[in-house]
Amino acid sequence: MKIANAQVIQRRHATVLMCCLVLIWGCNWPVNKIVLTYISPLWFTCLRMAMGSISLLLVQAFRTEGIKLPARADLPVVFSIGLVQMAAMMALVQLGLAIVPAGRSAILSYTMPLWVVPGAILILGERLRMAKIAALMLGLTGLVVMFNPISFDWSDHKAVVANCYLLAAAALWAATIIHVRSHRWVGTPLTLAPWQMLIGLIPLLPLAWSIDSPAPHLSFSLGALALAAYTGPLITAFPLWAFVTVARTFPAVTTSLALLLVPVIGLLSSVVFLSEQLTATSVVGLLLIVSAVGTVSLADATESGGSVAG
């Protein structure tokens, strides 16, 4: 009974973290647009990794156990998240975002359920019940409607390549969700997160040096410094820890479907803060995605309720 109660509390905490994660990552799209007026995309990613790592190391330093190096058994997940999610995925997103509008970039980046579902079934052995199949179809239909492929200029080679970058980023993110769920953890997400960021920073620095410029071009001002501080702890350090915690708690399919709310929040926050237009297709897509998340949440509640009762 104690184990069942502990699992219920853990799921409640993970649900709260998921809500915070969706809100922060969703609002991050217009924030990114503002920050990129001060610094180039890849150097901005390097800044996020560096400041996020420093923030979490400071948090650990003031904890009783202090700063801990990763255990040997956790090195695979440290390198997986650091190199795949932090370095490769973020680099691909920034390269795609340089050409594709922010709204479409957010939508394509969150197509990871397409890649998570086969991995969750084949690698993790998760069972895809009818409710989750319905939620997957609703969510992906919502993304397609929001993306509106009819209005896309398929003759634009650069735009097509940039869209492929974003789809590749989604596939890499799906791979880390599967790995996080299957890994047998020794350390906690909080103790491993700063090392994952530092590992991701290693390949990002030469990439930014070669593609963007030999040095970051910063426009220093009070606003720029405030935004830089904001991007470190709030939209990098905390979300990475929250994401790994959530991915460890919920099934991989549930995590990926719940994250479909991020482009919804991204779209709405862009309308509010950047005065972007909200089209009819965007509203229909939004409603479909919200329906999908509601469906998968009810399915998980039913399954967990049955397992606890049993």
Q: What are the CA-CA distances from residue 147 to residues 7, 106, 109, 152, 157 (Å)?
A: 37, 10, 11, 8, 18
Query: Which tops the pLDDT comparison, 300 or 68?
Result: 68
Average pLDDT of the residues of the chain: 80
pLDDT at 256 over 60: yes
Q: Find the mean pLDDT for residues 13-36.
A: 83
60-69, 102-111, 182-191, 222-231: lowest mean pLDDT where?
222-231
pLDDT at res. 225: 64
Helix residue ranges per DSSP H, the chain: 2-35, 41-61, 75-79, 90-97, 102-109, 113-122, 130-147, 157-182, 189-211, 222-231, 238-249, 252-258, 261-274, 280-309
pLDDT at res. 199: 95
pLDDT at res. 157: 86
Q: Find the mean pLDDT for residues 278-306.
A: 71
pLDDT at 71 over 90: yes
pLDDT at res. 216: 63
pLDDT at 295 over 70: yes
Confidence category of residue 229, pLDDT binned at 50, 70, 90:
low
Confidence category of residue 48, pLDDT binned at 50, 70, 90:
confident
pLDDT at res. 73: 94
**Region of residue 39 (left: phi > 0; alpha: psi -120 to 50; beta: else):** beta
By the 10 Å C-beta count (0-12 exposed, 13-18 middle, 19+ buried), 201 is classed as: buried
Q: Find the mean pLDDT for residues 102-128.
A: 78
Confidence category of residue 306, pLDDT binned at 50, 70, 90:
very low
Q: Find the mean pLDDT for residues 229-233.
A: 71
Q: Report the Cα 274 to chain-centroid distance in Å.
A: 22
Q: Report the Cα 165 to chain-centroid distance in Å.
A: 16
pLDDT at res. 72: 93
pLDDT at res. 219: 58
Provide CB contacts within 8 A for 275, sequence distance 6+.
Answer: none
Considering only CA atoms, which of 18, 70, 38 is closest in space to residue 198?
70
pTM given for the model = 0.76
pLDDT at res. 126: 79
Task: Report the C-alpha gap between 55 and 224 in whole angstroms.
Answer: 18
Task: Report the C-alpha gap between 12 and 18 in whole angstroms.
Answer: 10
Domain limits, the chain = 6-309
By the 10 Å C-beta count (0-12 exposed, 13-18 middle, 19+ buried), 135 is classed as: buried
Confidence category of residue 66, pLDDT binned at 50, 70, 90:
confident
